[in-house]
Structure 1
Amino acid sequence: MATLNIDGKEYDTEQLSEAAREQLASIQLVDQKLAQLQQEAAILQTARNAYAQALQAELPKES
C-alpha cells in the first residue's frame, strides 16, 4: 500500500480517484523532468566555467 502525504495528511493512493491518480502521475513526471533539467543545468554550468577558464588563458597578458 503506497501512501501520499499532502499538507501533513496521509492518503492511501489506492483509495484515490482515477483523476487524482492521474494528477499524481503528472506531478511525478514533472518532478522527474525538473530533476533531469537541474542535472543538465549543472552540467552546462560546469562546461561554461571550463570555457570561461579556457578563454581567460587565451587572453593577452598585461605587460
Structure 2
Amino acid sequence: MAQEKAQVITIDDQEYNVSDLSESARSQVVNLRVTDQEIQRLNHQLAIAQTARTAYANALKAELPEKKTH
C-alpha cells in the first residue's frame, strides 16, 4: 500500500499540514485553490482575447485606404 504524503500549505512563510487545520480552515484552503484556478482560467481567456484583438486590429489596418502623403 502506498504511503500518503501529508499535504502542506505555506501561508505567510509558515508551513501547515492541511490535516492539522480545522474544518473551516480546510474549507478556506479549498476556496483559495478554486479561486486561484479561476484566476488562471481568466488570465488564459484574457490572453486569447488580447491576441484576437491584435489580429483584428492588424486586419483592420490592412483594409484601410492608404493615406496620401504630400
**Unpaired segments of 5 or more residues in structure 2?**
1-5
Moved over 2 A (4+): none
Aligned length: 63
Gapped regions of structure 1 (runs ≥ 5): none
Aligned Cα root-mean-square deviation (Å)? 0.6
The code of the aligned residue for 1:60 comes to P
1:30 alignment partner, one of 35, 54, 57: 35
Higher normalized helix content (fraction of residues): 1
Deviations 1:8-59 (A, max 9, x none): 1110000100000000000000000000000000000000000000000000
Match of 2:25 in 1: 20
Please tell me the residue identity of whatever aligns with 2:18: T
TM-score, with structure 1 as normaliser: 0.96
Over alpha carbons, which structure has the higher Rg?
A: 2
State percent identity of aligned pairs.
44
| 1:59 to 2:64 alignment | yes
